[in-house]
């Protein structure tokens, strides 16, 4: 379907977290959802069900520079925790990150698992970096469409569908939507997450405004050492 005939998109009506069936807490019977299913997870590749490979499920993995990852995660966690505490300081968060303490395992291990899988199964695992999306979003839209088996038609290319999808999903567009500026989602009586928390700056290299050059260089060296020989670089 061309973008001119498309119906209003979910992104314009719902914040990201509200699109998840598990947003209200509890467990969801994924098997009961109609096919094709679109699932989102933070789990490392090694913890996904074996059927992910055997059934040749398509996996799209997204990561970003570890320094920006740390800064973004710190701001997010501190905003979520503001009702129950002051949150972490950068020095403490940096030390924990370098030691591999993260909700879903060490950053380098997480990335490496998906990277290596994408090398073995490039037709079913697409490895993307946030930086390349920011640099040329329309190109990534085309790449994603091809990966999913629905490449853009000549007519769609001519009418600028890739550019329109990129514009609609841009940081600037999403932050300007009312659904992402007001309201939030509560998880029982413990955590309330404001919709605006999911959008901060969306910039590449913002880490330099929050950590010293020495910290950045140390983290770069550590990640390079952990990824040595894999072909994956940041």
Alpha helices (H) in 99-212, listed in sequence order: 107-120, 130-135, 137-147, 154-158, 161-168, 171-175
Tokens (6 digits) for 82: 């503001």
Q: If you ran DSSP here, which 8-state letter would residue 214 be given? A: H
**Spacing of C-alpha 15 from chain mean position:** 14
Is residue 210 flagged as an active site residue?
Answer: no
Q: What are phi and psi of 73, to 5 degrees?
A: -65, -40
Nearest alpha-carbon partner for 94 in 226, 227, 207: 207
Q: Are 218 and 98 in contact (CB under 8 A)?
A: yes
CA distance 59 to 46: 13
Q: Which helix (H) or strand (E) holds 68?
A: helix 66-80
Active-site annotation holder among 3, 27, 42, 187: 42
Angle, vertex CA 191, rays to CA 188 and CA 192, nearest 5: 100
Cite the active site residues. Answer: 42
């Amino acid at each position: 379907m061309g973008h001119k005939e498309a119906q209003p998109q979910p992104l314009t009506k719902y914040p990201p977290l509200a699109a998840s069936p598990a947003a209200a807490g509890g467990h969801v019977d994924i098997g009961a959802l109609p096919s094709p299913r679109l699932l989102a997870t933070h789990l490392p590749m090694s913890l996904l069900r074996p059927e992910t490979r055997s059934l040749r499920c398509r996996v799209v993995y997204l990561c970003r520079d570890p320094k920006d990852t740390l800064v973004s995660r710190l701001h997010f966690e501190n905003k979520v925790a503001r009702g129950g505490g002051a949150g972490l300081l950068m020095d403490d968060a940096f030390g924990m990150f370098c030691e591999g303490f993260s909700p879903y395992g060490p950053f380098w291990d997480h990335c490496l698992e998906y990277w290596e899988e994408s090398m073995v199964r490039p037709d079913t695992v697409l490895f993307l970096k946030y930086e390349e999306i920011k640099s040329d979003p329309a190109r990534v839209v085309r790449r994603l469409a091809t990966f999913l088996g629905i490449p853009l038609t000549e007519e769609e290319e001519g009418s600028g569908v890739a550019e329109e999808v990129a514009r609609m999903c841009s940081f600037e567009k999403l932050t300007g939507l009312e659904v992402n500026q007001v309201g939030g989602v509560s998880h029982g009586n413990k955590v309330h997450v404001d919709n605006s928390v999911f959008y901060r700056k969306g910039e590449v290299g913002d880490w330099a405004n929050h950590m010293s050059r020495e910290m950045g260089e140390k983290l770069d060296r550590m990640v390079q050492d952990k990824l040595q020989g894999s072909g994956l670089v940041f």
